[in-house]
Amino acid sequence: MSTRSYESRDSFRPNGGKGGRRLVSQAQAPGKLYLAGEYAVVETGHPALLVAVDRFLTVRVFDAESARTPASASVTATSDTGSDWQTGRIESLQHPQASTGWHRERGVLTADTPSSESAYLLAAITTVEALAAQQGMAMRCFDLEVSSDLDAQSGHKYGLGSSAAVCVATVSALLDFYGLVLEPLETYKLVYLASGRAQNLGSGGDLAASFYGGCIRFCSPDRAWVREALEGGVPISQLISKPWPGLSISRIKAFDVFSPLRLLVGWTGSPASTPSLVAQVREGSGQGNETTYQEFLAQSDAAVDSLAQALSQADMILVTEAMAQARSLLRSLSTLTDTPIETPALQVLVESALVAGAAAKSSGAGGGDCGIAIIGPEASDRRGWQSSGPQASLEAQAQAIGQSWTRQGIKPLGLNVVMPLAEVEVWPLVNGVDDGTADSSGSPQADTSGAGQTEGHVVSEAVADSLLAPGSADDNPDSRRKNDHIRLALDQQAHYKPNGFDDLRFVHHSLAAVDPSQVDLSTSVCGADWHVPIYINAMTGGSAQAARINVGLARAAQATGIAMATGSQHAAIRHPQLTSTFTPIRQELTGFIFANVGPTVTPAQARQAVEMLDADALQIHVNPVQEMVMPEGDREFNSWIDRIGQIAQESPVPVVVKEVGFGLSRKTLELLASVGIHTVDLSGRGGTDFAQIENQRRERRDYWYMGGWGQSTALCLLDAGYPTPAGPAILASGGVRSPLDVVKALALGAQAVGVSGHFLRTFTQEGEGGLVVEIRNWIDQIRALMALLGASAVTNLSRTDLLVLGQTGQEARLLGVDLEALARRA
């Protein structure tokens, strides 16, 4: 088997970076588009709907102090700022003219060569550092690098809000750099203040969409109040913690993982100047047109909330009506103020989409830039797209609109709505209208009627229904089976399940603890160095819904620096058109990726799976129980061990053999070692039960008694490691519900621990941002637990005292495990 040099990849080295610089933090911010309310939102208290889209701007912060000599980054201590003179550099990869050095003298940061392109960067830096200074922190040297795919490669701007993304990403990265932890709403307010340093305070809707992600309903703050607070000298730390009059931000449940609606975006090729257009409208609305303008605002509010309700309900008929109303209002405003909002090119874009059965309008200030179209199953049915199945009908409709746009000089951008990135309350619906429960801080109050409950509750109820709703299933047997697996796995995750980890108890030693700062979480897997011992384990792929999940999981892995395994790639190997449900993983994740096949593929097909993802290792899943119960299962088991050996011998990357929730016995590990397998994932009982899942897919459900088959992960770990290790290196997964389960698995010899069900449920309930927060919390808590146990490194956990009780203890004794020795290892 050939080997790969992992050391050549910066993504595996926490201290990697150009020229030996140490990458300290990084943040991404997506682009944005307005759906409705784009002109009304400039007035305080009037809502707009926006979405974040999957083109990103990335800001990376490098610790310049560790890479410069004292001559180039001298630091002379003072009582106020920590230095008299500090230097650093700002690099823009797409716009080199915006690159500049910076220097800080007596606490004042200045660009060496100021430019309009760097204004937002400097404003964000200055704002965050003002907050840091108010917290008593010394300023630090850093280099800041900006990369972006928000604009065309030619340099033309698509109108996706690059200035907003710069502010969001820079503020987020520098907050992390300085170790400042804020609530999401506080962070948004800080971003808003940063943007206001670069130009006059705007509505802030673009900033909110880029920060919160997903689809949001937004009302701008009272800008006069904010300006007065700033001019009155209110410290930033106090200002961001105060309620802001008028500010309201809430989540609209639309375009999420399971929504049947799709957003299409076309670019006219003509850039627009939003500030000048907005100024022209505001000037025109005040020239004896005040009454008519107020009527426009009231009608816009109604159109926005009608569209919010329609999107939340995924009702395409209501979406069409609300979008038509919003478009009509913009055209009336254009006439009233003599402002060119819907240009001829935008009219062509909109009307060609309408002919194809979509809802459509211009997006944002108009005058050029982008237009949007929304399609869904009801519209495609009415237009005759349904003949080849619901998913295929939407694809055909989208393709027809894209082709029509292209013929008429409109560029389809192929954008998707980004999953939620930060927590915010769901917009309350009472008879389809905002019930006014938004408080002065901008967050809606809890709605006890059932319509405005927390976001997680709404999603968990919607999962089963939306997966089976017309138009949400893929027209392919493999894809439909994958969607069944997602739905049924989430059903199992809805309830806490005890498992073998509950039988493991650490012996507490009060004076054994070490400082958390001394704990090193790094580990080695398949020859690669990981900075944390957890990873997102194999889940799904092979359907449109699975693709959306994989994109969100990959982005969360990228944001947190952990590895990820994809689900089985057999569907893409059999149906090449499904390759696109897997390839976005590598597009989103630069770190360690496991490809995934079963033992029924050929070595050539295994290589195909690796190449599909540019994967760093290959999982071979062995699932005889699942195949036996699965109605369409492959039951030719005799050749599996030989196939595994052949794949391992010819694989270009390390191979890991894993179960799918039934556990690998010691006998199995020894057999795998004999054919050249060096790493296994035990994947024991305790998490997702695929015997139950496949039985629920059977017409008679006659394998009901197979639930609970196999060994728990805890028992597999004991069987594999005691009294002596069985041979292959051990990864553990299956029923991992908490950081404590992770630490228990590591204490029993696992090099790293995979998590599937819990992370999937978190993602579907709380979105991409919620999953990022959860993973980071787990990492922090794993560190805390290891410190409590006196383990300054992962390998030190093997010397902790562990009690094995209950059923797991009884079964382990029958397998010959010396439990008394485990209890006295320290």
Q: Which residues contact 574 (CB under 8 A, 6 or more apart)?
A: 478
538 known member of a binding site: yes
Q: Hunting for tokens 């196939």 — which residue is that? A: 643
* Paired sense of beta strands 534-536 and 752-755, if any: parallel
Asked if 474 contacts 543 with a C-beta cutoff of 8 angstroms, the reply is yes
Asked if 274 contacts 256 with a C-beta cutoff of 8 angstroms, the reply is no
Asked if 738 contacts 502 with a C-beta cutoff of 8 angstroms, the reply is no
612 known member of a binding site: no
Q: Give the span between the Cα atoms of 734 and 683, in whole angstroms.
A: 5
Query: What backbone phi and psi angles, to 5 degrees, belong to 286?
Result: -100, 5
476 known member of a binding site: no
Q: Which residues contact 117 (CB under 8 A, 6 or more apart)?
A: 92, 95, 97, 98
Q: Give the span between the Cα atoms of 733 and 713, in whole angstroms.
A: 7
189 known member of a binding site: no
Amino acid at 126: T
Q: Give the span between the Cα atoms of 35 and 806, in whole angstroms.
A: 57
276 known member of a binding site: no
540 known member of a binding site: yes
Task: Report how far apart, in Å, the C-alpha atoms of 242 and of each of 142, 152, 186, 721 are.
Answer: 31, 39, 9, 55
604 known member of a binding site: no
Q: Give the span between the Cα atoms of 244 and 247, in whole angstroms.
A: 6
Strands (E) in 340-397, as ranges, are 359-362, 370-375
Q: Give the span between the Cα atoms of 192 and 233, in whole angstroms.
A: 17
Q: Which residues contact 788 (CB under 8 A, 6 or more apart)?
A: 513
Q: Give the span between the Cα atoms of 360 and 321, in whole angstroms.
A: 10
Query: What backbone phi and psi angles, to 5 degrees, belong to 232?
Result: -80, 0
Task: Report how far apart, in Å, the C-alpha atoms of 622 and of each of 288, 300, 684, 814 are.
Answer: 75, 57, 12, 25
227 known member of a binding site: no
458 known member of a binding site: no
What distance separates the 2 farthest-apart alpha carbons in the chain? 91
735 known member of a binding site: yes
497 known member of a binding site: no
Q: Measured in Å, how far apart are the chain's first and last C-alpha atoms?
A: 39
248 known member of a binding site: no
Alpha-carbon 514 to chain mean position: 33
688 known member of a binding site: yes
* Paired sense of beta strands 85-92 and 142-148, if any: parallel
92 known member of a binding site: no
744 known member of a binding site: no
Enumerate the known binding-site residues for substrate.
Answer: 481-482, 568-570, 626
- Residues marked as binding for FMN? 538-540, 568, 596, 658, 683, 688, 735-737, 756-757
Per the annotation, where are the binding residues for Mg(2+)? 627
Binding site, residues? 481-482, 538-540, 568-570, 596, 626-627, 658, 683, 688, 735-737, 756-757
